Amino acid sequence: MEVAELRSALQQIGDSTLSEAILGALPRRKAEELEFHDAHRDTTVAATEAKARDNERMRNVYRTAQSSVDFVRNWVRTRVPGKVFLDYACGDGACAIDAAKHGAALAIGLDISDVSVQNGRRAAASAGVADRCVYIQGDCEHTGLPDESVDVVLCSGMLHHLDLSFAFPELRRILKKGGVVLGAEALNYNPLIKLYRQLTPQMRTEWEKRHILSLADVRFASRFFDVGDIRYWHLLTPLAAYFAAAQGLLEAADRVLLRVPLVQLMSWQFTFELHKREDV
């Protein structure tokens, strides 16, 4: 499919998906996701004191994840030149903008939150790449995108929001032959991290808490894709949220410890590639 033809299809999707009738019929879990992420992304609403504390806590923890953030950013930048890129559940759209800046023929941001979509459109215009970025509100489990229309997909911290029995077949349908998906997700084995999630219920939806990914989900993905390049990230580095001066030492320790198979399972995050073969 040519980029111009895909743009036309995206325009139709943007005009029709998640209409008022569809919004009213969303399953409860999806309606909760929509409500949660609209509230989280709404920059016009003053944060409550509790929300401000939660946001600051999250920022402190996620600052320790720079090595995996850099890996994902570089992975995207090396694969998008001349390609159609999809940021699957794009949030405020920063990854699509970065892809456009690094040569994507077209960068698509798809999210269930209309607030996120509007934020992405404004950010793309400010960055001067609105001509190469398209943001649409949609359901990631039923995107409406044409068959085999996308070359490269980023799933960053969002697969645990979805029912993978719908998401993986949908990704396979829209991915071109030879295309690739990068998943970057939290991992559901470390008991201390699981305890932290239980102690901060206001920071996630009920569905999200119950569906953090494990290797069983990657094995399920292998029914639809060839799985490759599984990497594990951040065993000790989250401690740098409290001991910032030790971050370099903690990262060095992680590089050694995360080579050990069973220790890897205690990491906070992991990344993996999903490839659609040329012969399918």
Instruction: CATH number of the domain at 19, please.
Output: 3.40.50.150
| Separation of alpha carbons 183 and 153, rounded Å | 9
Decide if 122 contacts 131 (C-beta within 8 A): no
CA distances to 21, 253, 271, 280 from 167, rounded to whole Å, are 22, 35, 17, 18
Most distant CA pair in the chain, distance: 54
For the sheet containing 226-233, what is the strand order? 133-137, 106-111, 84-88, 150-156, 175-186, 269-275, 226-233
Q: What was the pLDDT predicted at 217?
A: 98
| N-term to C-term CA, the chain | 17
Q: What was the pLDDT predicted at 2?
A: 79
- Structure-token pair, residue 30: 């999806």
Q: Tell me the three state secondary structure of residue 227.
A: strand
User: Domain range holding 52?
Assistant: 3-275
Q: What was the pLDDT predicted at 52?
A: 52
Q: What was the pLDDT predicted at 35?
A: 78
Note down pLDDT in tens along the chain; length 280 residues.
778 888 888 887 776 666 655 566 777 787 777 777 777 777 675 455 555 555 555 566 678 889 999 999 999 999 999 999 999 999 999 999 999 999 999 999 999 888 899 999 999 999 999 999 999 998 999 999 999 999 999 999 999 999 999 999 999 999 999 999 999 999 999 999 888 888 777 777 778 888 999 999 999 999 999 999 999 999 999 999 888 889 999 999 999 999 999 999 999 999 999 999 877 6
- Structure-token pair, residue 136: 């649409």
Parallel/antiparallel/unpaired status of strands 84-88 and 133-137 = unpaired
Domains in the chain, number: 1
CA distances to 75, 80, 179, 208, 256 from 101, rounded to whole Å, are 14, 10, 20, 31, 35
Q: Is residue 133 part of a domain?
A: yes
Dihedral sign of CA atoms 166, 100, 157, 214 in order: positive
* φ and ψ of 258, to 5 deg: -80, 10
Q: Is residue 270 part of a domain?
A: yes
Q: Is residue 100 part of a domain?
A: yes
Q: What was the pLDDT predicted at 18?
A: 65
Decide if 104 contacts 81 (C-beta within 8 A): yes
Q: What was the pLDDT predicted at 16?
A: 66
Q: Is residue 280 part of a domain?
A: no
Q: What was the pLDDT predicted at 179?
A: 97
